[in-house]
Amino acid sequence: MEDRKTDKKTVKTTTKDRGLLRPRVLIMIVCGTLLNFVLSTLVKQTNLPFYIDNVGSIIVTVLGGIIPGVITALCTNLINFAVDGESIFYASLSVLIAMVTSVFFESKKVKTIRGKILYILVISLIGGGIGSLITWFLYGEPSDAPMIVGIMNWFANTFGMGVFGCHVAATFLTDIIDKTITVIIALTIMQVLPENFKKTLTVSGWKHRRISYSDQRNILDNIKGRLSIGGRTILLVVLSGSLMAVIITSFALFNYRDKTREQIAANAAQIAYIAANEIDPERVDDYVRYGYEADGYSETRENLYAIMNSSEDIQFLYAYRPEASGCRVVFDLDATLPDGTFVPGVRPGSLIDYEEEFINYKDQLLAGEEVPTLEVHDNYGEYLMHYHPLFDKNGNLVCYVVSNIKCSIISENTRDFIVRVILLFAGFFLLIVIMGVWIARFRILMPIAAMTKYADEVAFMDDENYSEKLKKIESLDIHTGDELELLYKAICKLTSDTVAQTTDIRNKSEEISKMQTGLIITMADMVESRDSDTGAHVQKTSAYVRIILEGLRRNGYYTEKLTDRYIRDVEMSAPLHDVGKVAISDTVLNKPGKLTDEEFAIMKTHTTEGRKMIESAISKVEGDTYLKEARNMAGYHHERWDGRGYPEGLHGEVIPLSARVMAVADVFDALVSPRVYKPAFPLEKALSIIQEGAGTQFDPKCVEVFIESIDEAVKIMNKYKEE
């Protein structure tokens, strides 16, 4: 029992020691993140186009595994994002570098110079190649770092490449230098770390006994052509994550577009309001009648130009007076479209048609009422148009000041927003997928596949190798801590019981024959040594033992031990618990008074003598019989829970369960039954003595269930009193 408990403890400790949440692993992640941050911060001070922000991620990935490495990469980008406001958009690159690092180092490809060069080129392609694309989509222009600009000019002059191609090529080349320095630093640091220390940092995903690579391949080959549970889990993680990302991004996009439109509409209203404040409403009639020659017209026009030129988003700015037949021009500024097309303004005093979108608002315009900001599509593009009414001192409408803000800014901002959201999600999405694959492989796919394969082998076993195959599935030691572990234990128990039952049935006749022979031999020896009648004591103790065993199982105690077969074996063995007394002389055994120390020492030998007798019978029977529990009860039913019993001074659960059960049954019957050296104790006193011994003389759980079932015990006691 001690060995089994020690083995379980060792397994749990090993599993815990390889977990992600170990203090030393967490410290490693923190140190790796800080190393990335410190190195990248120092390099930024040089103004060179280098980052050196993956050293810690590479070290942590190599030492701890892909999960700690990815977490380190993400944490680094989060910290840098708090400093520069943009690093989080490159988080997916750091995660990909950690993934590639895991693949290269686990496959030992970096052992050679060629492997190291290939590794540097691959992570440079990620950091420089993909990174340059991200930079281009984020900012719409290449890097302005002097080194990159110089390389771009060389590519342009030498190969005639465009700006985009030059940007990608230049960024990739500079990143090769960056990643070469990064790898050299990382390998140097790992080289100086002690090997024993590095081994303690590994995070293992195995939730059962690690199996060889060849066995893994054999197991996985069995599920080829099918979508495994692990595959379904990974697919579910990817699809659900993608769906959630699409839903959240779509919601954010629509919300962003609405908020952006509201903001542009507010800007259009504010610009129209500011422009209206520059126009003197008392002079509007003169502006219409005399145009450019009107007093103050040119100054006002220049002020309106200043307002329009204050923002490149303002496309048109004008003032119209609504009339029944159309709009009378007060001011109409010249404008230049984004494509360079010049649009001259209409002369003041001219009558033009209403914009199509505002025809329905004609009556409101004539009445000087507010009209909503509308989105207008015409030959010049898409705009948000706002009409602001201008009144003279008498409250009469003199004109509307109109501002047109380009709507293209909504599309441009939306594109930038989508790019940023996708890049923001990418890093975390990759982490979720990696962890999903990792968990599915080690917590679902491999345990189930291995369990299934070994269970199949047991199902088709033959007489020669069933024991070996049974041990193989039991040695998997699956400890996922969830329903899968419970399923594994159930399968192990079911398999073990099936094997035992099959073996039992196959050998039943022979075993019974041998058992009878052994018992006959043993009883013959006992009779020959001494004829002793134990009376109803053995019958009562057998019944009490049955009561205690059923109570333990009912309360959920020792469930793994208390099988039907075990309970049957213990009950059958109970009558033999005092078989060793045949070796005790009548003088000592039947002495009416208190035994002397010497006599008590002789009396105690009935435990060892009984064990020897039953072991002798077991050796003659051969095989697994109920006599093994008879041996335990005969030899250890006088052991105490606190270790002060005899013959070996065992304590606690080290004492066999059957002996602990018999100890309660034996003492209770001794207390309530008359003996040559004492009268029977009252039931209340006997129960008080039993309860006082809980935790010292007896297993507390055995006492608990016996007291709970005392009514049944009293029935047994009274039954044999009457007989």
Cis status of the peptide bond prior to 647, with omega within 30 of 0: yes
Burial class (CB in 10 A: 0-12, 13-18, 19+), 152: buried
Strand partners, 327: 322, 352
- How many angstroms separate the CA atoms of 110 and 62, rounded? 11
pLDDT digits 0-9 by tens, 467-481 = 666 677 777 777 767
Strands 397-406 and 314-323: antiparallel
Distances (CA, A) of 436 to 67, 215, 247, 440, 678: 11, 23, 20, 6, 71
Q: Determine the Cα angle at 132 with ends 131 and 135, to 5°.
A: 90
**DSSP calls for 110-153:** GGSHHHHHHHHHHHHIIIIIIHHHHHHHHHSS----HHHHHHHH
Q: CB–CB of 351/326 below 8 Å?
A: yes
Q: What is the greatest pairwise CA distance in the chain?
A: 147
Kindly report each contact of residues 429-435 with a partner whose C-beta sits within 8 Å and lies 24 or more positions away, as own/partner: 429/241, 429/242, 429/245, 430/70, 430/92, 430/95, 430/96, 430/99, 431/70, 431/71, 431/74, 431/95, 432/237, 432/241, 433/234, 433/237, 433/238, 433/241, 434/66, 434/67, 434/70, 434/95, 434/99, 435/67
Report residue 235 as tokens: 């697919």
Q: Pick from 141-145, 315-319, 419-423 the range whose average pLDDT is largest.
A: 315-319
649: three-class secondary structure by DSSP: coil
Q: Structure tokens of 140? A: 């719409």
Q: What does the alpha-carbon distance between residue 666 and residue 700 come to, in Å, rounded to a whole number?
A: 16
Question: Which CATH fold topology does 17-200 show?
Answer: Arp2/3 complex 21 kDa subunit ARPC3 (1.10.1760)
Confidence class for position 274, pLDDT limits 50, 70, 90: very high
Q: Which of 112-116, 278-282, 458-462 has the highest mean pLDDT?
A: 278-282
The answer to whether 540 touches 662, Cβ cutoff 8 Å, is: no
Q: What is the pLDDT of residue 669?
A: 87
Name which of 295, 284, 277 is nearest 396 in CA terms.
Answer: 284
In total, the chain counts a number of residues equal to 723
Distance between CA atoms of residues 322 and 366, nearest Å = 6
Among 27-31, 341-345, 678-682, name the one with the lowest average pLDDT: 678-682
- CA count, 13 A, side-chain hemisphere, 514: 17
Q: At 647, is the pLDDT very low, low, confident or very high (cuts 50, 70, 90)?
A: very high
Closest CA to 609 of 526, 515, 533: 526
Q: Compute φ and ψ for 482, nearest 5 degrees.
A: -140, -160
d(CA 514, CA 512): 5
Query: Between helices 710-722 and 683-692, what is the axis angle to 10°?
Result: 130
**For residue 212, pLDDT beyond 60:** no
Read off the pLDDT band of 399 (50, 70, 90). very high
pLDDT, tens digit (0-9, with 9 covering 90-100), for 118-156: 999 999 999 888 888 888 877 777 777 778 888 888 888
Of 388, 304, 300, 294, the C-alpha closest to 349 is: 294
- Give one word for 316, left, alpha or beta, with left for phi > 0 and alpha for psi -120 to 50: beta
Confidence (pLDDT) at 493: 78
CA 128/CA 153 separation, integer angstroms: 18
Beta-carbon count within 10 A of 667 CB: 19
| Residues 231-252: tens digit of each pLDDT | 676 677 777 777 877 787 777 7
Cα 51 to the center of its chain, rounded Å? 31
Q: Give the CA count within 13 Å in the CB-facing half-sphere of 316.
A: 25
Tell me the percentage of the chain whose pLDDT exceeds 70: 82
H/E stretch holding 382: strand 381-391
- With H, G, I as helix, E, B as strand and everything else as coil, classify residue 345: coil
d(CA 579, CA 600): 17
For 15, the token pair is 């599993």
Q: What is the predicted pLDDT for the residue at 15?
A: 41
pLDDT band at residue 180 under the 50/70/90 scheme: very high
637 is written with which tokens?
A: 């039913």
Calpha distance 512→518 (Å, rounded): 10
Q: What is the pLDDT of residue 595?
A: 81
Q: Residue 447's pLDDT band (boundaries 50, 70, 90)?
A: confident
pLDDT of 544 above 50 = yes
Beta strands 335-336 and 342-343 are antiparallel
Directed axis angle between helix 537-554 and helix 700-708, to 10°? 100
Distances (CA, A) of 403 to 268, 313, 406, 575, 691: 6, 10, 10, 107, 95
Tell me whether the CATH fold assigned to 17-200 matches the one assigned to 257-413: no
> How does residue 344 score in pLDDT terms, banded at 50, 70 and 90?
very high
Task: Residue 622: name the closest of 518, 479, 530 by CA.
Answer: 518
pLDDT band, very low/low/confident/very high, at 572 (cuts 50, 70, 90): confident
Higher pLDDT, 343 or 419: 343
Mean pLDDT for 155-159 is: 84
From CA 652, how far away is CA 702, in angstroms rounded?
12
CA-to-CA distance for 357 and 377, rounded, in angstroms?
A: 9
The model's pLDDT over 494-533, given as tens digits with 9 standing for 90+, comes to 777 766 776 666 666 556 545 643 453 455 345 334 434 4
Is the overall model pTM greater than 0.85, yes or no? no
Q: Which residues touch 204 (CB under 8 Å, ≥6 apart)? A: 18, 65, 210
Residue range 257-413 forms a domain whose CATH class is alpha beta
- Answer with the residue of higher pLDDT: 253 or 645: 645
Confidence tier at 360 by pLDDT (50, 70, 90)? confident
Phi, psi of 320 (to 5 degrees): -125, 145
Domain boundaries, the chain: 17-200, 257-413, 508-722
Please state, rounded to an integer, the average pLDDT across all residues of the chain: 80
The answer to whether the CB of 96 falls within 8 A of the CB of 56 is no
Percentage of the chain lying above the pLDDT 90 cut: 27
- Structural class in CATH, domain 508-722: mainly alpha
* 712 closest CA partner among 539, 536, 544: 544
Return the pLDDT at 7.
41
- 489-498, 543-552, 563-572: least confident range: 489-498
Burial of 469 (0-12, 13-18, 19+ CB in 10 A): buried
Instruction: Report which listed range, 316-330, 362-376, 422-436, 600-614, is most confident.
Output: 316-330
